[in-house]
């Protein structure tokens, strides 16, 4: 029967969740210029935690480095893109004192790449501006003038040391899965600051960032007694399971003058299901105010391929020619690698922009090219990355690698947290 004629049915009623609300958590200690910010989320009581709808709130401003004075109208400084996340080099999460995140100082790159590749133009022009996402103008990625529209907008927001507020979801594996965290599990979030020179674009290092306030708004939900009792009985027979897309972001440097890269054992053991690769200047990666750390240059790459136990991916390697603007297979990899290919979706990176500051290579290693939410058989092996350049590198670069894996985190009835990321 057509729905237009179904006159006597009513929509289903949701009765499993009785109540939901956000609880504001404050940092465990006072905020300092360079110290970490830590939150402790209590899991006591009957409420479950909805980490998928939990978000960070910050207030920050930029002042002079020598005397904390306010900026004047001539101050040549502004935030880098995606500033909420670029303020932090590492973000860790522990459940019941067990660290479940990969310790690495590449958090800012994970957050940038996920926002860059996951959202389209409308989202980046609206909701992502709450994280201070204003895209740098291609071909002018490091300009601090009106040629770079994104920098101009970000600079205006912090002019004369105006306090700007930011909010967004932390880019952590458990925050990107929808299952509620059982009661009785405490969560601890630790945010480690980036260098000021990394998170700022300026003519010199005469400026610093002051975080004025921070809070974590945690979504807690009250579950019906029927569902809660069913969970208690199920925990007597097995564990609660949280399927995650585990993200590992790593970087390695390549020296000036190199004509090729042959990175053995890029991943050894469990193989990722998708990979993105981009190159940035090494000094920008380490933090220098005069450069944009998210300027992904093509560096005259003429060959790129992955090798899993000797099998080349793709079968015909990527062989772009950026000098002649012939890189369409590499550009299409952004969409195949993120599951957007042949869908009415985009990432707000045009063909022209791709070769001028947004050169990221994507590889989908799944057998069905699917982002449908199911797991794939876990494979083990040795993954190698090979890159050739048509011209020797003019300066040392950092190769940023973003990889996605299928994994499960489990919690038993005693609230022990169990996982094995090696399998």
d(CA 17, CA 49): 12
CB atoms within 10 A of CB 387: 23
* Tens digit of each residue's pLDDT (9 = 90 or more) over 223-245: 999 999 999 999 999 999 999 99
Phi first, then psi, for residue 181 (nearest 5°) are -85, 130
pLDDT of res. 372 = 66
pLDDT of res. 367 = 86
The answer to whether 218 and 23 are in contact (CB under 8 A) is yes
d(CA 326, CA 82): 29
Measured in whole angstroms, how far is the alpha carbon of residue 309 from the centre of its chain? Answer: 28
pLDDT of res. 378 = 86
Domains parsed from the chain with CATH numbers? 15-239 (3.90.249.10), 243-409 (2.70.9.10)
* Tens digit of each residue's pLDDT (9 = 90 or more) over 263-283: 999 999 999 999 999 999 999
Cis peptide before 163 (omega within 30 of 0): no
d(CA 318, CA 301): 9
The answer to whether 327 and 355 are in contact (CB under 8 A) is yes
Q: With pLDDT > 70 as the criterion, what percentage of the chain qualifies?
A: 99
pLDDT surpasses 60 at 423: no
CA atoms within 13 A on the CB side of 347: 25
* Tens digit of each residue's pLDDT (9 = 90 or more) over 17-46: 999 999 999 999 999 988 999 999 999 999
DSSP 395-421: S-EEEEEEEEEEEEEEE-TT--EE--T
The answer to whether 391 and 300 are in contact (CB under 8 A) is yes
Band (pLDDT 50/70/90 cuts) for residue 376 is confident
């Amino acid at each position: 029967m057509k729905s237009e004629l179904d006159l006597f049915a009513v929509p289903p009623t949701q009765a499993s969740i009785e109540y939901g609300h956000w609880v504001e958590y404050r940092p465990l200690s006072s905020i300092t210029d360079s110290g970490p910010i830590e939150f402790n989320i209590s899991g006591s009581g009957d409420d479950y935690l909805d980490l998928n709808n939990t978000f960070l709130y910050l207030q920050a401003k930029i002042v002079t480095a020598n005397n904390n004075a306010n900026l004047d109208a001539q101050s040549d400084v502004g935030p880098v893109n995606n500033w909420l996340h670029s303020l932090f080099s590492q973000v860790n999460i522990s459940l019941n004192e067990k660290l479940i995140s990969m310790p690495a100082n590449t958090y800012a790159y994970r957050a940038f790449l996920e926002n860059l590749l996951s959202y389209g133009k409308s989202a980046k022009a609206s909701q992502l501006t709450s994280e201070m996402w204003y895209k740098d103008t291609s071909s002018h990625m490091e300009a601090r003038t009106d040629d770079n529209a994104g920098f101009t907008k970000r600079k205006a927001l912090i002019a004369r040391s105006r306090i700007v507020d930011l909010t967004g979801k932390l880019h952590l594996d458990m925050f990107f899965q929808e299952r509620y965290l059982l009661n009785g599990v405490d969560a601890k979030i630790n945010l480690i600051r980036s260098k000021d020179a990394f998170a700022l674009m300026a003519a010199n290092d005469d400026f610093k960032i002051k975080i004025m306030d921070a809070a974590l708004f945690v979504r807690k939900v009250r579950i019906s007694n029927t569902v809660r009792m069913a969970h208690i009985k199920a925990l007597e027979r097995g564990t609660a399971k949280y399927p995650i897309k585990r993200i590992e972001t790593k970087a390695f440097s390549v020296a000036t003058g190199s004509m090729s890269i042959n990175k053995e054992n890029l991943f050894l053991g469990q193989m990722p299901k998708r990979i993105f690769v981009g190159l940035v200047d090494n000094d920008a990666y380490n933090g220098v105010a005069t450069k944009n750390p998210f300027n992904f240059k093509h560096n005259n790459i003429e060959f790129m391929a992955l090798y899993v136990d000797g099998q080349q991916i793709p079968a015909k390697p990527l062989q772009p020619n950026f000098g002649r603007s012939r890189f369409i297979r590499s550009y299409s990899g952004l969409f195949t690698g993120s599951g957007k290919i042949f869908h009415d979706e985009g990432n707000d990176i045009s063909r022209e922009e791709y070769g001028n500051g947004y050169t990221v290579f994507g590889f989908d290693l799944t057998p069905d090219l699917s982002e449908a939410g199911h797991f794939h058989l876990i494979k083990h092996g040795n993954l190698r990355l090979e890159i050739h350049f048509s011209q020797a590198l003019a300066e040392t670069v950092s190769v940023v690698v973003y990889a996605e894996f299928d994994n499960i985190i489990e919690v038993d009835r005693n609230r022990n947290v169990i996982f094995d990321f090696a399998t």
